Chain A
Amino acid sequence: MSNALEIASRREGEKAAVLSLAGEVDVANTPQMRDAALQLISAGVVRLVIDLSATEYMDSAGLGTLVGLRKRLRESGGELLLAAPKPRVRRLLDITGLDQILAVHEDVAAALKEDEG
């Protein structure tokens, strides 16, 4: 069965990285998303930007995974930042109240800028 999600990552300096999620995030592929993020964290990334600009669908399983990754990063003094969620994902963040917990930025550049600060 083809995967509805394409995951790509790139490093931004020594401690930061951007994880891009293109397509649909649901219970079938959250393990891949988590594994990709954990791989970056294991390689020394402490500030992780999740690029949601091409994420067409996400459910609470995806959000739960992001919350878990944020907890993991914060335990080591890091942070998880969300960038450019589309209206559907932004609405889900609002409904669940996670927009009060997860840092949401207009785009990747803004998230990385906060990262520098």
Chain B
Amino acid sequence: MRTSAPCRVEMRVPRRPEYVRFARCAAKTLALQLDFTYGDACDVELAVGEVCTNAVEHVAADACEEMVVCFVVEEDQLTVEIRDDGQGFDADSIGASDPDLEEGGKVGLTVVRAIMDTVDIDSGTGCGTVVRMSKRRERPSA
């Protein structure tokens, strides 16, 4: 499936652990449908899983019931935007220091930054969180 004009697909997903799989599998399916390599589609799946897991685990239980997962399909890339209306966090603090792996430090966003081409986090205390990340599609070599 190829498209010239950007196309949006939006899902509202319950902010519960059992729905993270649904969101990440949808992401992988779309990436494969867009002719991403299997490895890149798996990266998109993992990135969506990590960000949704953050929304499930780190947003206060009574803050919001859903997260919104929006895919923007463009000719050469897939952008995923995941937002919640939770309490937000200081985005500048993320990545400021290496997580303590021995202590089980949170490494989800480290993973996302390593496997996606661009990652942008828009969050602030009391303002909810939006994570935008994109993956470029590899063109077949001539």
Contact = CB atoms under 8 A, between A and B. Distances in A.
Interface stretch (A23-31, A45-53, A77-85, A107-115): A23-31
B37 interface: no
A27 B106 contact: no
A44 interface: no
Given A24-B21, A68-B104, A101-B102, A96 B53 contact: no
A60 B106 CA distance: 8
B49 interface: yes
A38 interface: no
Interface residues of B, number: 24
B107 A27 contact: no
Given A59-B46, A59-B49, A28 B104 contact: no
A71 B101 CA distance: 11
A97 B45 CA distance: 20
Bin the interface of chain A by size: 20 to 34
A101 B57 contact: no
Interface of B is mostly: helix
B49 A64 contact: no
Contact of B111 (A4, A24, A27, A96): A96
Given A27-B56, A95-B111, A95-B115, A60 B50 contact: yes
Interface in A53-101: 57, 59-61, 63-64, 67-68, 71, 88, 92, 95-98, 101
B18 interface: yes
Interface string B84-124: 00000000000000000111101110110011000000000
A75 to B, nearest CB: 12
Interface of B: 17-18, 20-21, 24, 42, 45-46, 49-50, 53, 56-57, 101-104, 106-108, 110-111, 114-115
